[in-house]
Amino acid sequence: MSEVKPFLLELGVEEIPHWMIVPALGDMERLFLDLCQSHQLVPGDLKFDGTPRRLVLRAAGLPERQADRVELVMGPPKSAGPGAAMGFAKKNGVTVEELSTEVTPKGEYFALSRKIEGREVRQILAEALPALISKIPWPKAMYWTGKGGTTFIRPIRWIVAMLGDSVVEFELAGVQSGTLSRGHRRMGADEIAFDHTNYEERLEKNGVILSAAKRRKRIQDGIKKLLKGKGLELIADDSLLDDLVYLTEYPTPILGSFNPEFLALPQEVLSTVMRHHQRYFTMRDGEGKMAPHFLAIMNMKADKKGYVVKGNERVLEARFNDARFFWDQDQSKKLADRVEDLANVTFQAKLGSYKDKRLGVEAGVCRIAAALNLDSRLARRAAELCKTDLMTEMVKELTELQGVMGGLYAKAQGEPGEVWKAIYEHYEPASMESEVPSSDYGKILSIADKLDSLEGCFALGMIPSGSKDPLGLRRAAQGIVKTIVEGRLRLNLKKIVNEGAEETNRTFLRIRSDYKEDRAADGELKLAKQIWEFLLDRVRYYFREVRHYAYDELSAVLAAGPVDLVDIESRLYALKLVRQTEEFEPLAAAFKRMRNILKQAGWQGGTVNPALLEEGAERELFDETSRVLAKVAVYRRSEDYMASLNVISTLKPAVDHFFDKILVNAPDPAVRDNRLALLGGLYNEVSSIADFSEIVTSSTTE
């Protein structure tokens, strides 16, 4: 058996954008495992590490040589005769006597068992690694040795490739592999010798903490030590912490301060400048108020003379002075006076300007406000002003503050609370982790804005396909669903979609000569159907993946046809709990049997004639059904689905007795139709809450 040796590959590069490092390590792992599998290699424990200047792959063990193997080469069928066998043998450099016979489903074939000697793994790696490195996908890549040459995210400066103590020799982008690494750009040596046992230790002595987990811990421990006894608290920002871990090789926290007079600016402005422009953490004091301090992470061991802190303070002061200038300058012109300026800002090339979009949002928010009995004047005013902050100097400089600045400016300019809060919040939720708007007007403006984007893009055929969604329409649709459910808005979403699609259709017919009306065969706008199905797909995703309801529970509820998403959640919650009772699964199986019977019989409807009911099991089911459905009707008026499903579950004994004693397909047509009407009426009433027949059961009676 071949001896096993540790393997290490280090790619030394110019600084890689922090957000690309983790995906690149994942791709390295995938590509390396594919390489091992294709060459029948079983690596030992794998480790993948990354810093801004290096990507590292380590395998605890790889064999020095591949194992020998036997390859079976199939030849011609025996029926082809001796001549074919001789030709096959000659081609493979053997005699006919060395051939064997293999029996296959197609008959007997000549075959040859050939021993394949394993190759040196170092040679395999030398041949394969250049291609592996070149195949790492990047959002953007550059040519470094001329067009048609190697592409990579940044110039490759050094390559370490070692199997045991031996170099895996290859060249890539003009760089020859070797055994020497490099340290921190300012604190480390240009050449670092090491072996597999002291690799991380030698790097750390040269200013490089290889492990991302260790860098994270160093930051967290350093922050605790730095803030101890100072009466300051860091405002947690996990995303910023993730960024800083991959922006540094030797992270060290430092604490700086700024002039308290800047606290007169909105906290949102100060925090955005610090977080997005400088990658600083915001601080608060013991009373929970924003403090005139910041916490930064430098890529050095220490700042003994305070030069780094002072440099960061000077940069931040300049940024804050700019922000104060923008704040004062923007106040000289009201948002309402900027509305016409939106005509000069393109929303989307085919959809027109933000002024055009504003009109669509206004129409949508008024429809939603009317449906929820909210003040349409306030909703319209919020929609009229919601995009005007795009024309302000602050948002041009700090694009992350879109909406937020509009809300702050509207507040400063005396707009009603409902209006400025709606503007402030209307870009939320930005993701599935974000909070939905807190105010009702913020919620409906958020929905109207996102729905307008869907309507316009779908009308022009710009519909997401596969994984491609350049306009973020899936995210917009998911935001609509999340806002309605978590905002507890009792909204008939399908009706809103239909009304919006009809208005979009009329508008586009009026303003675009290249737009053709396209209606489905059943008379309903194709546009409305497309948007509703798109949203319904996001509804399914939300309740399955975010709220963690079972797929069959969701199918059962959606089969009942509700279009109020809050109502859907209430039904799902009740169904999930009732499903845990002993009676539920057998009853669900019985309803599946009812559905099959009704389908096979082609039942088209009808009412029960009590005079045709047989005494005993049939009459018992009729009486129990009448009792239960009367209670369900009361519970449903108050949307008490838990009570409704619980009382429905009491039907189990009567349903079981009916199927045990009664032949549904009775010889007498009148009796048969009456029994189908009994089952059909029960099935339809119960299925209007949730279609039990959609539930997957362990045993289903057909």
- Mean pLDDT, the chain cut into blocks of 10 residues (702 residues total): 87 95 96 92 93 96 84 84 87 84 86 82 94 91 72 92 95 93 94 94 96 97 94 93 97 96 96 94 93 96 92 96 96 94 91 90 95 96 96 94 96 96 95 92 97 90 83 93 96 91 71 54 64 94 95 92 92 91 84 88 87 90 91 89 89 89 88 90 88 76 40
Instruction: Extract the tokens encoding 287.
Output: 């009373």
- 265-272, long-range: CB within 8 Å, 24+ apart, which pairs? 265/320, 265/323, 265/324, 265/327, 266/327, 266/408, 268/401, 268/404, 268/405, 268/408, 269/323, 269/327, 269/394, 269/398, 269/401, 269/405, 270/320, 270/323, 271/235, 272/398, 272/400, 272/401
CB of 655 within 8 A of CB of 628? no
Q: What whole-number distance in Å separates Cα of residue 643 and Cα of residue 130?
A: 66
- Which token pair is 292? 């005139």
**Distance between CA atoms of residues 142 and 144, nearest Å:** 6
Q: What is the pLDDT of residue 520?
A: 38
- For the record, the structure tokens of 242 come out as 């993730």
Element (H, E) at 114: strand 107-116
Q: In terms of DSSP bridges, do strands 156-163 and 175-178 run parallel, antiparallel, or are they unpaired? A: parallel
Nearest to 647 by CA among 689, 618, 693, 697: 689
Cβ-contact 54, 11 below 8 angstroms: yes
Amino acid at 340: E
The amino acid present at 40, given as its one-letter code, is: Q
Alpha-carbon distance 363 to 448, whole Å? 8
Helix or strand holding residue 211 (H, E): none
The CA distances from residue 270 to 259, 262, 465, 605, 653, in Å, are 12, 8, 40, 67, 67
Residue 699: partners with Cβ closer than 8 Å, 6 or more residues away? 589
C-alpha distance across the termini of the chain, in Å: 59
Q: Cα(124)–Cα(459) distance, rounded to whole angstroms? A: 54
Alpha helices by DSSP H, listed for 439-525, are 440-459, 473-486, 493-511
Sign of CA dihedral 211, 212, 213, 217: positive
Least Cα distance to 240 among 208, 282, 291, 209 occurs for 282
User: pTM of the predicted model, to two decimals?
Assistant: 0.81
SS3 688: coil
E strands within 574-697?
none
Q: Are 476 and 450 in contact, with CB atoms under 8 Å apart?
A: yes
What is the model's pLDDT at position 522?
36
Residue 504: which residues within 8 A CB-CB, separation 6 or more? Answer: 360, 455, 456, 459, 527
* Alpha carbon of residue 297 to chain centroid: 29
d(CA 573, CA 575) in angstroms, rounded, equals 6
Rg (CA), the chain: 35
